[in-house]
Amino acid sequence: MKIVIIGGVAGGATAAARLRRLDEKAEIVLFEKDAYVSYANCGLPYHIGGTIEHREELFLQTPEGFKSRFEIDARVLSEVIAIDPAQKTVKVKDRLNGITYTEEYDKLIVSTGARPVKPKIEGVDSEHVYTLRNVPDMDRIKSAVDKKRGESNGQEATASAVIVGAGFIGLEMAENLKKAGLTVTVIEQADQVMGTVDYPMATMVHQYLRSRGINLLLSETVTAFEPEGDRLLVQTASEKTIATDMVILSIGVRPETALAKEAGLKIGSLGGISVNDYMQTSDPNIYAVGDAVEVINPVTGKPALIPLAGPANKQARIVADNIIMGNTKAYKGTIGTSIAKIFDLSVASAGASERLLSREGINYITSISHAGSHAGYYPDALPLSIKINFVPDGKLLGAQVVGFDGVDKRIDLLAQVIRNGGTIHDLQEIEHAYAPPFSSAKDPVNMAGFIAENILVGHVKIVHWQEMKNLPPNAMVVDIRTVEEYESGHIESAVNIPLDELRKRLPELPVDKSIYVYCAVGLRGYTAARILMQHGYKEVYNLSGGYKTYTCIQQEEQGVADEWDLFPVIGDDGEVRQVYEQ
């Protein structure tokens, strides 16, 4: 059997190696249009920032290595320019010498990946505008960064970068460019970073980014890139002009499906290659994997585009098995579990966000809880926040975690419950490894489940941050934190009755009023709500996420002062203009 693979990196390279392990006699040919067949795509930002010092550490396998270890014919700088399903051939252009030739196959794997989104705006093709998708992209960016750092000649850093798009890659680039000594501005069209997490969680990320010196412009659209000497002026819809040395476009990616379309393969509703459970395309002899394909999101049951390395590797393994052993293994979809490191902060998500659930018309409940990364009495416990989205029958649909330690293991636990169709009750029963340096006897994931159950069974009614803006006329807001906490900052109109004094001061709370209680993170508020409910108060609500969540969002809503200074720039036309310097 002869198997041809289009594209290397995560999907194609993994499929090739698995195929050889299953069948020593198969003829395997892998075509890669770039010069590198197998490398750590997710590690590219960290070489730019210097965390991964040596470039060679990113390369997992070479054409020579594929040949000597796996007897795989890996041809780099070889671009497949056409697929002929009827003849079972591919047309290949050797980019080194320009020769075009035809290669036959018995089975074909398409792993063409995705291409960066490049908006059609003025100046987007400038040499100072970059995207980061492969090794040559990384080399160009790092070369530009090193050049600017060299020009500073040990003086105070003057080089700057603008990142357009605040997704996972955009924020990883923000961290690494900052570490490389550049001043960094992130521009995002939406009102929050990282669209896979919900707004309350994103606001914590906003505050942290600003604390690390990242200039963050939200709800802002870039309209043009204008050359100014060896720099660029980034123009925005709100008429800001930002002078910078380089721009990184990180708006997103689109499936690379041109070959599949021209070959007549079925394309899905979202623009990716349509595949069945066995990762087989509309042609039974052609399979497809990775960022180019549409998969099913088990939460919604609908197609999704989820460009992540983990799913691509798993799909590649399944395809190899199905080609060699027949269609026996099904891919069960992906819920998009992902995590990003932003300086010392970790941000992770799995399953459906509120935005997705609303778009799909799914009725849901949400809950936010804050805890420590491990037992509070053991040194160095760090803040950890969990948000879960679930339906009224308790099924868990989505989860997000933000914190400084232990975020990865919490999102992994939550993701498995979501994948298995589990409920908030399963969260309560998760058995975790416990010792004070690692967790608490009741892990934050368990606590998220306990809180959700209290909501479902009616032990507490919750109120969310946005509802606090429009409380009923007979509402009374009660801050049940200590006097010291209250005096350090509180919700306007709130009265302070510390929890330990609540029972003695019940006469101060009219029974006929709606009582809205809050504490720092929600736990003491729950205790206060239970006291009040059992003393005859009918309308008692606890603020989900407590004052911590509320203040994060309030600060965001009120806006952060612009710390940039205007300075004059004389343009090539001789006109003096005011520009924001970073």
| Contact present, 290 and 11 (Cβ < 8 Å) | yes
The b/e string for 142-161 (b: 16+ C-beta within 10 A; e otherwise) is bebbeebbeeeeeeeeebbb
Q: Which helix (H) or strand (E) holds 29?
A: strand 27-31
| Cβ contacts of 218 within 8 Å, gap of 6 or more | 166, 188, 190, 191, 192, 193, 206
Out of 22, 40, 42, 491, which one is annotated catalytic?
Answer: 42
Strand order in the sheet with 100-104: 78-84, 89-94, 100-104
For the chain, the straight-line distance linking the first and the last C-alpha, in angstroms and rounded, comes to 59
Amino acid at 204: M
Are 128 and 245 in contact by the 8 Å Cβ rule? The answer is yes
Dihedrals phi, psi of 443, to nearest 5 degrees: -65, 155
DSSP H helices, 360-456, are 407-419, 424-429, 444-456
Catalytic residue list contains 42: yes
Helix 63-70 with 9-22: angle, nearest 10 deg? 20
Query: In whole angstroms, what is the distance from residue 341 CA to residue 52 CA?
Result: 14
Half-sphere exposure of 130 (CA within 13 A, CB side): 27
Q: Do 486 and 496 touch, CB atoms closer than 8 A?
A: yes
Residue type, 117: V
Q: Tokens 């190696």 correspond to what residue?
A: 17
CA 340 to CA 172: how far, in whole Å? Answer: 7
Query: What CA–CA distance (Å, rounded) separates 21 from 316?
Result: 13
Burial (Cβ within 10 Å: 0-12, 13-18, ≥19) of residue 404: middle
Q: How far apart are CA 251 and CA 568, in angstroms?
A: 30
User: Catalytic amino acids?
Assistant: 42
